[in-house]
Amino acid sequence: MVAIATLNRRKIWAIALTMALVAVFAAVACSSGDEDDPTAAPAASAQGQLGGDAKSIAERRGLSDADIEAALKTFTPTGVMDEYLMFSSGGHSGQLHVIGMPSMRLLKTIAVFTPESWQGYGIGSNESEEVLEGGRVNGDEVLWGDTHHPALTETAGEYDGEFVFTNDKANARVAVISLKDFETKQIVKNPITLSDHGATMVTPNSEWVIEGGQYAMPLSGDYAPISDYQEKYRGMVTMWKFDRAAGRIDTTQSFAIELPPYWQDLCDAGKLVSEGWFVCGSFNTEMATGGNQDGNPPFEAGASQADMDYLHVFNIEKAIAARDAGKTVQIQGFPVIPLEVAASDGILHLVPEPKSPHGADVTPGGEYIVVSGKLDPHVTIYSFDKIIAAIAAGPAETDSFGVPVLAFDDVVEAQVEVGLGPLHTQFDNKGYAYTSLFLDSAVARWTLGGPYASLNPDPEWSLITKTQVHYNVGHIAAAEGDTVSPDGKYLVSLNKWSLDRFNLVGPLLPQNFQLLDIEGTGEEMPVIYDMPVGFGEPHYAQIIKADKIHAWEVYPEIGFNPLTGEIDPSATLAGEERVERDGNTVHVYMTAVRSHFTPEHVTVKEGDHVAWHITNIERGLDATHGFAMPGKNVSLSIEPGETITTEFDVTDDGVFPFYCTEFCSALHLEMAGYFLVEPSGS
Amino acid sequence: MTSLAEIKERAFGPRVPREEIFRDPLRFLLPTIFIGVAGILLIISTFFPYWTLEMQAPQFPKGLEIQVYVDEMVGDVHEIDGLNHYIGMRPLSEAGQLERSLSIIMVGVVIGLLVGAVYVHNPCALILTWPAVLWPAIFLGDLFFWMWNFGTHLDEGAAFSNIIDPFTPPIIGQGTVAQFHTNAVWDTGLLIAFGASGLVIVGLILHRRAYKPLLDRVKAERAAEAIPVAEA
């Protein structure tokens, strides 16, 4: 006290001011340190810089610096959303998978062509069975599919997050899935062929969904001996008209184009400068017919003889004009532009392409078409401008069906040797293209030229690096990598084989999705995550920025029918539950709420037909109920607000306990009831 | 014979002579302003929730919320009713049905009484303003009644009746019901109504200050008049 008292007032002020200045300086220094100093982060890029526990964990698990970096790039803590969603074909599971990126967490499997009991898809619900009905093949029920190429709807060449299409290669079918509820709304069967591969691809505003065929056959569906292959077998491409407002393909506005009996392969729509056009690759322009049982060369050899096959180039407007002018023929009740019209009306031109190629991919600006040679170590890049010029100049040659063929040298822009077995190409935002190399088990990064050359420091049209993947990559998918504005950042290598990557689970091995970080330039392109795929052989995937999708949390209103998008006529609110008899049809109007069905007893007579309508009257997120009826092959998923109907014939008397299959509450087991079937004589 | 004006004066208190208003306009304007603003605030308060109950539980990461207005209940009522059936509580919509249906009319009546209080220049004005002063307390009392009524009259046949003892959720602050943490908040509407109460009280004091002297004067005059009559 004495000391303070002895200080005069001026000294006290000086000390106080100095201390205040020091405090302000310290605060500024600390706060700027938090923002700028990378070493301030708890986990740095190298093991040696990790904090105590993290370092010992990394040592104990034998993690390298690269492993730690990969973990830091992909680890997504609980409750944190992924930046991207990948829609991956489910291959011969017949489904579509939704995977979060960069975490590579499988979020959902959307039932498409194959019944799926969790979603109650094709297991008793009228709504889903109506969708599957659309996929009947020659009248027969086909309850699986081989999904290959999902296509998100686009607006001005950008994914808009509204719908996604996918195809079934095995039966030539196309499905429409709404991204409001992630449910399949429609399946259309191609009326004139039985296999497709160039599907599904959309035009830049999704007016058209392209479905290119694969194995040529008589489009009439009739028998023709294979010796008549060149005369009677044909390829085709179908233009499905998409009615976005209805959320359905309008089959009445759709049509097909007859093609030579080459085996058409992947297609891609033009965009920006090439909008209004689309291309499809092909192989087996040799028109080999196989027959190794008779000593003929097998398809694999016969279809691989020629050095060149044909890229098919289509003009959409001219096709529509021919359709509108009535230049179609009806085949199996479907309008088809005959091959000679396609040739004479400028709808179709052929461009030589080496050799048994696979992917045909249009660059983001639409200027180039990249064709991967499959049996040729190059990617061949065609200039769209040159194709237009060559078409205008009038091609000198035709193929044996009279289709004009452009001269290879007139239209090619560049060729880049990338490695063995090139299949598919994707793009980023830095002027790089990425091509999968099946035989090399690698992803190649190479540079585009022209308007893309200035986007990176590397020389144009040259191979920059290859990253090994594990193993035998098919498709690759980059973040928004086939839109007009790819994001770069991530690329997924959809590997066919996993071999030694995962624990052995019997002879049928999972496949392997490998995530690559393509944020860098030059040779930096590491694999940062392996995701085992134990559900079929996926083909293509598309990766959309997650914030473009605006899905429903619950159905918009109680009594909503997801298929019609309207209140279901059988919607039942609390207090309206009842059982009504109409002749020998018994209508059950039931509600489901945690944790009871109302009514809990339903009594009918043997021989009745039951139409059971259930409305989930919940509005809470996750308050989904299931409905399982033993012995009737009925499993329903009734999401909050949804009304669903199942119908079945009652053939046996007896007592059938039904119950809710979702663990909807602590009293989930009590959410049950009895379906009582009296003998018909009683 | 007493004139009509005289009856009016006896019932509603003395009228203010014009010259007195001009001499000190603020004195007579202020109580009217305070009481008038209180009335407007009371109307405004009906557009805001009076009481909000927030509920947090592990499986409701966004929480549940119910907001009570004088005339309606909004928020996760459907969801909360769904949960309440486990403990045998009646649907919330059954609580305070009469009060909610009459509340807007009641606000009108309360404001009508306030307007009356402005014109009544005697102690009766105090009685006319009581409903407005007590309005928020009446709301809270009614709320407490229904909370008690619902929480202590649970259906004993309900699934979780053995887990939950009858209870009255707090009408302000934190509470716990099963796995839910509840937080009851006196919300904007109620705070505005309290504000209106305060304004009415201040208005009344000013009212008394403005008219008491007049009233006293009139009483004195009457007394003066009355004395000779008695003497006669």
Which of A554, A555, A593 best probes binding to B when mutated, by most B CB atoms within 10 angstroms? A593
- Cα-based angle A562, A568, A573 (whole degrees, multiple of 5): 110
Most A CBs within 10 Å, among B65, B86, B87, to test the A interface: B86
Rounded alpha-carbon distances, angstroms, from residue B53 to A62, B64, B77, B169: 52, 8, 11, 10
- Classify residue A345: in a domain, yes or no: yes
Q: Report yes or no on A210 lying in a domain.
A: yes
Tell me the shortest Cα–Cα distance from A164 to chain B, in angstroms: 30
- What is the model's pLDDT at position B165? 84
Q: Which of B82, B86, B159 sits opposite A618 (nearest CB)?
A: B82
Contacts of B59 in chain A (CB under 8 A): 622
Task: Specify the CATH number for the domain of residue A589.
Answer: 2.60.40.420
Q: Is residue A69 part of a domain?
A: no
Q: How far is A619 from chain B (nearest CA, A)?
A: 7
Query: Are A536 and A513 in contact, with CB atoms under 8 Å apart?
Result: no
**How confident is residue A14, by pLDDT bands cut at 50, 70 and 90?**
low
Q: Which domain holds residue A133?
A: 84-415
Contact residues on chain A for B84, CB-CB shorter than 8 A: none
Match 């686009």 to its residue by tokens: A154
- Å between A96 CA and nearest CA of chain B: 29
Reference A276, options A328, A236, A320; nearest CA is A320
Q: Give the distance from CA A277 to its chain's centroid.
A: 22
Q: How confident is the model at residue A157 (pLDDT cuts 50, 70, 90)?
A: very high
Q: What pLDDT does A109 receive?
A: 97
Work out how many domains chain A is built from and give that number: 2
User: What distance in Å separates the CA atoms of residue A353 and residue A259, rounded to the nearest whole number?
Assistant: 17
Q: How many domains does chain B have?
A: 1
pLDDT above 70: residue A43 = no
> Of A415, A450, A469, which marks where a domain is finished?
A415
What CA–CA distance (Å, rounded) separates A210 from A270?
12
Listed residues A415, A441, A465: the one ending a domain: A415
Residues A479 and A470: their CA atoms lie apart, in Å, by 20
Residue among A620, A665, A670 whose CB faces B79 most closely:
A620
Q: Search chain B and give the residue with CA nearest A621.
A: B60
Q: Chains A, B: CB contacts under 8 A, how many? A: 17
| Each residue's pLDDT tens digit, A391-418 | 999 988 999 999 999 999 999 999 999 9
Evaluate if residue B143 carries a pLDDT over 80. Answer: yes
Q: State yes or no: pLDDT of A39 exceeds 50.
A: no
**Between B59, B76, B82, which is nearest A593 by CB?**
B82
From the list A619, A622, A665, which residue is nearest B78 (CB)?
Answer: A619
pLDDT digits (tens, 9 = 90+) for A500-518: 999 999 999 999 999 999 9
Please identify, among A361, A387, A415, the residue that sits at the C-terminal boundary of a domain: A415
Residue A241 lies in a domain: yes
Give residues with Cβ within 8 angstroms of A221, minimum separation 6. A138, A192, A332
Residue A502 lies in a domain: no
Q: What is the CA radius of gyration of chain B?
A: 25
Interface of B with A in 3-42 (CB under 8 A): none
Q: What is the model's pLDDT at position A48?
A: 58
Q: Is residue B31 part of a domain?
A: no
What number is the ipTM of this complex?
A: 0.74
Contact A620 B86 (CB under 8 A): no
SS3 per-residue string spanning A224-244: CCHHHHHHHCEEEEEEEEEEC
Name the residue range of residue B99's domain.
49-212
Q: Which amino acid is at A547?
A: D
Does residue B157 fall inside a structural domain?
A: yes
Nearest-by-CA chain B residue for A593: B82
DSSP calls for chain B? ---HHHHHHHHH-PPPPHHHHHH-HHHHHHHHHHHHHHHHHHHHHTTS-SEEEEEEETTEEEEEEEEE-SS-EEESHHHHHHHHHHHTPPPGGGTTHHHHHHHHHHHHHHHHHHHHHHH--STHHHHHHHHHHHHHHHHHHHHHHHHHHHHHS--TTSTTTTT-------SSEEEEETTEEEEEEE-HHHHHHHHHHHHHHHHHHHHHHHHHHHHHHHHHHHHHHHHHHHH-
Does B30 reside within a domain? no
**CATH no. for residue A376?**
2.130.10.10
Residues of A with CB under 8 A from a CB of B: 593-595, 618-620, 622-623, 665, 667, 670
The DSSP bridge partners found for residue A137 are A140
**In angstroms, what separates the C-alpha of A594 from chain B's closest C-alpha?**
7
Residue A497 within any structural domain of the chain: no
Amino acid sitting at position A627: F
pLDDT for the residue numbered A174: 98
> Is residue A438 in some structural domain?
no
Distance of residue B149 Cα from the nearest chain A Cα, in angstroms: 25
Indicate the DSSP class of residue A672: E
Tokens 């199996």 sit at which residue? A332
B78 shares contact with chain A (CB less than 8 Å) = yes
Chain A residues with CB-CB distance to B79 below 8 A: 618-620
Q: Residue A93 pLDDT more than 90?
A: yes
Residue B124 lies in a domain: yes
User: Mind listing the pLDDT tens digit for each residue in B84-106?
Assistant: 989 999 999 999 999 999 999 99
Is A594 in Cβ contact with B79 (below 8 Å)? no
Determine the average pLDDT of the residues in B156-164.
86
Flag if A620 and B159 touch (Cβ within 8 Å).
Answer: no
Tell me A469's DSSP state. -
Residue A492 maps to a domain: no
